[in-house]
Amino acid sequence: MSSQEFDGLVAVVTGGASGIGDSATRALQAKGAKVAVLDLNPANAATGAVQVQCDVADDASVQNAIDKVVAELGGIDVVINNAGIGAQGDVAANDDDEWHRVWDINVVGMVRVTRAALPYLRKSKHASVVNTCSIAATAGLPERVLYSATKGAILAMTRAMAADHLREGIRVNCVNPGTANTPWIGNLLSKAPDPEAERAALNARQPHGRLVEPDEVASAICYLASPLNASTSGVDLAVDGGMEALRLRPA
């Protein structure tokens, strides 16, 4: 068998049982990685992935999950911090409890997983962290104050962590998807009065006339995580059909 980019490497993918995380899991496997999926519902993870039940909002659950991955796969080289949830509305729409809940999953969840994996990343020769951010980090999306705040924090955190760990050979990058064709968006559309019309309108609002495919985001995640790109750190890579570069704004 010919050698592949991620041969001999172990990757952890949070939220890896659905959408972008599932695509990332399959792409990393196809490139030779052994993958552990940490998810609230890991049973739907890709065949061959190690399934680990984990709530990134619970520090003990994260620590147990990382211990399990290391016991089963021998170490951790790559962390894909992808688990995240949505939140809608203007600044008045969500109370303190909701702010804490979403922040705890989207932002502190990535901190918990990275912190628990750090001792193992330090032992790896190809250590890399990729955080799933969003165009919401910079775009000023309407009715998305809380969600945007979490993604802005992830972008800032990605750069700060890249600075901290570059000298010890741990790279930290993030990927910024535009609206992606995942179960999350499918569920939102299914609640619209006319889901097909809503999907068509959403497609029309994208610069390239369609939603971003999760496999396209996975491809960018693999690029950032790959040992072939060992000089790339602190980067946010847009996968949005050009929306941010063109300064376009979804309605």
Active-site residue list: 147
Q: Phi then psi for 249, rounded to 5 degrees?
A: -130, 125
Interface with ligand NAD includes 50 (CB under 6 A)?
no
Angle at 158 between CA 131 and CA 168, to 5 degrees: 105
Options 89-97, 158-166, 172-180, 243-251: segment touching ligand NAD (CB under 6 A): 172-180
Residue 185 binding ligand NAD, by CB under 6 A: yes
# of chain residues touching ligand NAD (CB under 6 A)? 28
What is the smallest separation between the CB atom of 56 and ligand NAD, expressed in angstroms? Answer: 4
Residue numbers 124-153 binding ligand NAD by CB under 6 A: 132, 134
Cβ-based nearer residue to ligand NAD, 169 or 235: 235
Strands 34-39 and 50-53 come out as parallel
Query: Which one, of 3, 14, 62, 8, lies nearest residue 42 by Cα?
Result: 14
Name the amino acid, one letter, at 120.
Y
Cβ neighbors of 193 (< 8 A, separation 6 or more) are: none
Task: Report how far residue 78's alpha carbon sits from residue 80's, in angstroms, rounded to the nearest whole number.
Answer: 7
Cα 16 → chain centroid: 9
Residue 108 lies near ligand NAD (rule: CB under 6 A): no
- Out of 9, 10, 13, 19, the only residue in the binding site for ligand NAD (CB under 6 A) is 19
Q: How far apart are alpha carbons 110 and 160 in whole angstroms?
A: 14
15 binds ligand NAD (CB under 6 A): yes
Question: Does the protein bind ligand NAD through residue 223 (CB under 6 A)?
Answer: no
According to the binding rule CB under 6 A, does residue 59 interact with ligand NAD? no
Can you give the binding site for ligand NAD, defined by CB under 6 A?
Answer: 14-15, 17-21, 39-41, 54-57, 82-85, 105, 132, 134, 177, 179-180, 182-185
